[in-house]
Structure 1
């Protein structure tokens, strides 16, 4: 019973329209699902991914207008990575960011990979990471755009970084409960701090890693606009999903119990430092209720919300995505 890698990350945005333009027009990702936050149907939930909406390529956003800023600290998913094919891709993106006025750093080594850190317009801390032929979880399928060469397109999720004050409790859950393994460490780029620890699952590689940053000097983070709400990990099928539900129970980890999201099944729990983890099934996927060719073009509701469509649409603010 192994987790396959990263499934998705969910982030908070203060303005869905600007968010849409950044992730589709600048980053070239595909909007594969426009739906609602199932726990608060008065707000939108947008899913960006590769051309097919594959698990392991998804970055999702809860739209919360007028949301305050995030404040960096511990107990936080502090960075999210996106995979690109190679180092030449990073050079392409560095120039593209410059032309688009996107805040970015220089190309630097992280975990022995070439990377390029940048921020979206909500302040989310993001990193492009070059695959350069590395083995591990396979990449996604590029979404073809005329202004982004396919050989440089974003092809999935890379490592997430967890910033914690004390690492041992988080590492304990990753290794003892979730089956992650230690694969190395690399120097912090932010000063004289402990090395960042790297843990991997499944086939390993960029799409299956969690990085642990130890920062006892920081206060606890405050989640707001641009902050990462949770990270989800891939469960291959429903049989193993049921086994994971039992495993969390056996380890007496408080959790959500089984949650039906329609596009996948989910389990939520917080690791000891308070970071929200999700275990999500690969199937059935986003083409369940929409043709692959037109995913994301209309407001999609799972069957259990469809009878409320009229009331839900009346509560939602107009959303102009173009």
Structure 2
């Protein structure tokens, strides 16, 4: 293809109880809720977005939380691990922080110069905190809970589990990713200039069972397109290659197209624009339920079906700054 992504845009996963999900990602991991909205295709459930202060592409993990949703199964045909980037000297702090909150963690491991700490969220989603030896220049969200010097910088990478790599590797090449490293049955690819936020690992496990997407698993992985014309050109090239790709869908904060890579994982190409300040100011992101114009006439009915969601005061940047100063 003639177009190449610069890196990850977001990862979207399935969760159970929305309040439990929010408490973990806001208070335990120290991310910011940058948008409280609904699943546009199923407005009876939330779509919760977490990221850095402004919800910049590459910092985002999002959830469809269905209270009482059955547990999924990690396996081939899906993204099995979502990794976040943290400073190199911070993994000890994170280990102590998470253990103190009763979160099960792995021992800190090292692979290809990177140190990593594994954990699971309350629904069992596999997460890794990774310290890249060259660091990560992205700014953290300083929320007064997780000190800025240890804060998550954004997404680091995702791991796709496949039974055979050839077709998946070919499609990653079509998306502009290039081979970066290989260790045994794990192949790493890099987008753009590489580094945290631009990696995808392909884990080849021929005998592993097929994954089941439900609570505690990833629904899809989104890659960045700078604007709508680029996305449209990308869609045309995919269609010309015979890939089953959706029409362009308006997600209010970006435009999206979806398709599956040959190994089975659902992928998305999402535009960087217009961003999360399209319908509320930066200081108020995530604090109120936002609906797209076509769902606004049904606001009363939609709100009646959604459970109450209590956000911590630290989601307000002004208060977060005061709390950080008084630590």
Aligned to 1:49: 51
1:252-273: per-residue Cα shift (whole Å, max 9, x none)? Answer: 1001111111100001001112
Do 1:139 and 1:156's aligned partners in 2 also have CA atoms closer than 8 Å?
no
1:232 CA drift (Å): 0.2
Q: Does residue 207 in structure 1 map to residue 208 in structure 2?
A: no
Report the Cα distance in structure 1 between the residues aligned to 2:58 and 2:160, rounded to whole angstroms: 18
Distance 1:8 1:115 in 2: 20
Unaligned runs of 5+ in 2: 313-327
- 1:220/1:245 CA distance change after superposition, 3 Å: same
For 1:174, the equivalent position in structure 2 comes to: 172
When structure 1 is superposed on structure 2, of 36-45 and 311-320 the one drifting more is: 311-320
**Structure 1 outlier segments of 4+, above 4 Å:** none
| Worse-superposed segment, 284-293 or 241-250 | 241-250
d(CA) in 2 for partners of 1:17 and 1:111? Answer: 37
**Aligned position for 1:189:** none
- 2: CA distance, partners of 1:312 / 1:157: 31
| Structure 2 residue aligned with 1:147 | 145
CA distance in 1 between partners of 2:297 and 2:138 (Å): 34
In structure 2, the partner of 1:253 is 243
* 1:111-134: CA deviation from partner (whole Å, max 9, x where unpaired): 421111111111110000113334
- Residue of structure 2 in register with 1:190 after alignment: none
For the pair 1:295 / 2:282, whether they are aligned, the reply is no
Q: What's the TM-score, normalizing by structure 2? A: 0.92
Question: Is 1:319 aligned with 2:306?
Answer: no
Equivalent position of 1:102 in the other structure:
103
1: distance between equivalents of 2:162 and 2:90?
31
Aligned match for 2:62, one of 36, 60, 63: 60
Q: How many residues align?
A: 310
Cα 1:320–1:151, aligned 2, differ >3 Å: closer, same or farther? Answer: closer
Q: In 2, Cα distance between the equivalents of 1:25 and 1:262? A: 27
Given that 2:27 and 2:145 are in contact with CA atoms closer than 8 Å, whether structure 1 keeps it comes out as: no
1:321 and 1:151 map into 2 onto residues whose CA distance is 23
For residue 30 of structure 1, what is the aligned residue in structure 2? Answer: 32
List runs of 5+ in structure 1 lacking aligned partners.
187-193
- Alpha-carbon separation, structure 2, partners of 1:266 and 1:184: 29
